[in-house]
C-alpha cells in the first residue's frame, strides 16, 4: 500500500495533478497550504541602502534613463526570486531610482499603482509630472502615480536625485491585470497644466470640492509633503505621551481610506530609547528608515538593523518588535493591508 501511494503521488504531478493529501497537508515538496496559522512563502529580509546605491551608480555608468526607461535597482526577496522576478513580497515590488542632473525618465503609464518616496533631493529643481500636475520632489516627500496615470520624472537641478519606488505590480501580475502604455506621437500627453502646490492646497486642506465625489477613481492629491507629515506626527506624539510609538496613515481625501485600494502607506515614530509592543498582523510590510537608528527583532531572535534608508520586509503574521536608538526613529512603511481587509482576512495580535 505504501509503495502504491508513493508511486501515485509521484505520478500525479507529471500529469499536472495534485491531491489535498500532498499539497494542502504539506506532505509534498512545498510548505503546507492549509496551515493553522499563516505560513507565508516570503521570508523576512533587509537591504543596506549604501550597498544598494553602489549598484545603482554602477548601472548608471552603463545605461541612461532613456535606454533603461527607468534607471533603478529592485529589491528581490530571496525566497521569491525563483517564483517571480523582483518581488519584494508576494504582492509588492520596491527599488531605488536615480536621476542625474539634466536627466528625464520618459513618460509612460501602467495599471499597477505606484508611489515615489524621495530619499535624496539636494535641490528644488527636481519634479514628477502626473497627469499634467507638476509635483516637487524634496527629501521625504511622497508622490503618487495611481493606476493608469501618465507620469514622468525630471531633474533640472545640479545634484543627483534618488527615490524609492513602491508598486503593487506583483499582485496585479498574479491576477493578470498588468497593462502598460507609452505615448503615441511626438507630443507628450503629460504636458504640465497645474502646479503641484495648488493641487495640494485644493485637496490637502481637509476640504475638497463637492463635485469630485463619484468622479475620481483614484487619489487626486498625488503629493504629500514630508514637512507637513512629520509635523503631524510630532503633534500626535505630544498627545500620546504614554505610548512608545505613534503612527499616521496617508489617506485619500475623497474617500478617507488608504491612498491605494491595494497598498496602505504609513509614517511611524518610535520614541528615542523605546521598544514597541509585540506586533503581529496579516500584512506583508515593507519598512524604510527615514530618520534615526534602531532595529527590528523577529520571533526567531534575529535582528534587522535600521539606519538611514535601509529597507526591510516583514511577511504576514511574523511577530516582531521595533526598537529605537537614543533619538526618535521615523519609519515609512507600506503594505498590502487593504487587500487583507477587503477579503476579510485581516487580523492582528498586539501584546506587551
pLDDT interval class at 191 (50, 70, 90): confident
Residue 46 and residue 303: Cα distance in Å, rounded?
Answer: 10
Residue 84 and residue 121: Cα distance in Å, rounded?
Answer: 32
Spell out the domains of the chain, with CATH numbers in brackets.
Answer: 1-36 (no CATH), 45-342 (2.60.120.10)
pLDDT interval class at 149 (50, 70, 90): very high
Q: Collapsing DSSP states into helix, strand and coil, what is residue 257?
A: coil
- Cell numbers at residue 59, please? 548601472
Residue 152 and residue 77: Cα distance in Å, rounded?
Answer: 27
Residue 38 and residue 32: Cα distance in Å, rounded?
Answer: 10
CB-count exposure of residue 208 (10 Å: 0-12, 13-18, 19+): middle
pLDDT interval class at 108 (50, 70, 90): very high
Whether residue 212 is predicted with pLDDT greater than 80 in this model: the reply is no
Query: What is the pTM for the complete model shown?
Result: 0.93
Residue 172 and residue 169: Cα distance in Å, rounded?
Answer: 5
Q: Give the tens place of pLDDT for each residue, 25-79.
A: 767 667 788 888 998 999 999 999 999 999 999 999 999 888 888 999 999 999 9
Once rounded to an integer, what is the mean pLDDT over residues 305-314? 98
Q: Collapsing DSSP states into helix, strand and coil, what is residue 169?
A: helix
Report the candidate in 330, 155, 126, 144 with the shortest Cα–Cα distance to residue 219: 144
Whether residue 209 is predicted with pLDDT greater than 80 in this model: the reply is no
Residues in the chain: 352
Once rounded to an integer, what is the mean pLDDT over residues 331-335? 98
C-alpha torsion sign, points 63, 65, 69, 73: positive
pLDDT interval class at 23 (50, 70, 90): confident
CB 170 within 8 A of CB 263: no
Residue with cell 507620469: 151
Long-range CB contacts (within 8 A, 24+) of 72-78? 72/96, 72/97, 72/98, 72/165, 75/47, 75/311, 75/313, 77/42, 77/43, 77/45, 77/313, 78/43, 78/45
Once rounded to an integer, what is the mean pLDDT over residues 283-293? 98
Q: Give the tens place of pLDDT for each residue, 223-241.
A: 999 999 999 999 999 999 9
Q: What is the pLDDT of residue 295?
A: 98
Whether residue 186 is predicted with pLDDT greater than 80 in this model: the reply is no
Amino acid at each position: 500500500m505504501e509503495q502504491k501511494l508513493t508511486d501515485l503521488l509521484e505520478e500525479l504531478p507529471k500529469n499536472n495533478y495534485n491531491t489535498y493529501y500532498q499539497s494542502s497537508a504539506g506532505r509534498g515538496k512545498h510548505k503546507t497550504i492549509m496551515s493553522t496559522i499563516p505560513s507565508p512563502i516570503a521570508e523576512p529580509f533587509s537591504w543596506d541602502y549604501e550597498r544598494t546605491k553602489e549598484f545603482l551608480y554602477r548601472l548608471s555608468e552603463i545605461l541612461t534613463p532613456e535606454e533603461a526607461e527607468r534607471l533603478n535597482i529592485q529589491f528581490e526577496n530571496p525566497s521569491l526570486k525563483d517564483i517571480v522576478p523582483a518581488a519584494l513580497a508576494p504582492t509588492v515590488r520596491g527599488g531605488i531610482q536615480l536621476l542625474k542632473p539634466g536627466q528625464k525618465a520618459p513618460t509612460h503609464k501602467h495599471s499597477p499603482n505606484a508611489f515615489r518616496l524621495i530619499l535624496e533631493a539636494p535641490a528644488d529643481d527636481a519634479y514628477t509630472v502626473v497627469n499634467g500636475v507638476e509635483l516637487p520632489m524634496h527629501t521625504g516627500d511622497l508622490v503618487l502615480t495611481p493606476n493608469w496615470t501618465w507620469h514622468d520624472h525630471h531633474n533640472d537641478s545640479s545634484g543627483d536625485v534618488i527615490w524609492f519606488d513602491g508598486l503593487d505590480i506583483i499582485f496585479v501580475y498574479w491576477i493578470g491585470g498588468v497593462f502598460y502604455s507609452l505615448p503615441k506621437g511626438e507630443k507628450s500627453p503629460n504636458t504640465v497644466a497645474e502646479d503641484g502646490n495648488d493641487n495640494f492646497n485644493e485637496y490637502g486642506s481637509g476640504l475638497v470640492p463637492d463635485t469630485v465625489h463619484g468622479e475620481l477613481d483614484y487619489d487626486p492629491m498625488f503629493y504629500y509633503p514630508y514637512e507637513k507629515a512629520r509635523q503631524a506626527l510630532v503633534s500626535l506624539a505630544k498627545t500620546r505621551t504614554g505610548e512608545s510609538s505613534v503612527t499616521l496613515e496617508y489617506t485619500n481625501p475623497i474617500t478617507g481610506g488608504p491612498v491605494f485600494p491595494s497598498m496602505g502607506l504609513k509614517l511611524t515614530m518610535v520614541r528615542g530609547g523605546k521598544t514597541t509592543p509585540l506586533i503581529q498582523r496579516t500584512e506583508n510590510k515593507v519598512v524604510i528608515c527615514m530618520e534615526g537608528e534602531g532595529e527590528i527583532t523577529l520571533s526567531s531572535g534575529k535582528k534587522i538593523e535600521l539606519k538611514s534608508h535601509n529597507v526591510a520586509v516583514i511577511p504576514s503574521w511574523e511577530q516582531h518588535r521595533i526598537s529605537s536608538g537614543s533619538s526618535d526613529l521615523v519609519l515609512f512603511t507600506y503594505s498590502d493591508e487593504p487587500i487583507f481587509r477587503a477579503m476579510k482576512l485581516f487580523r492582528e495580535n498586539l501584546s506587551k
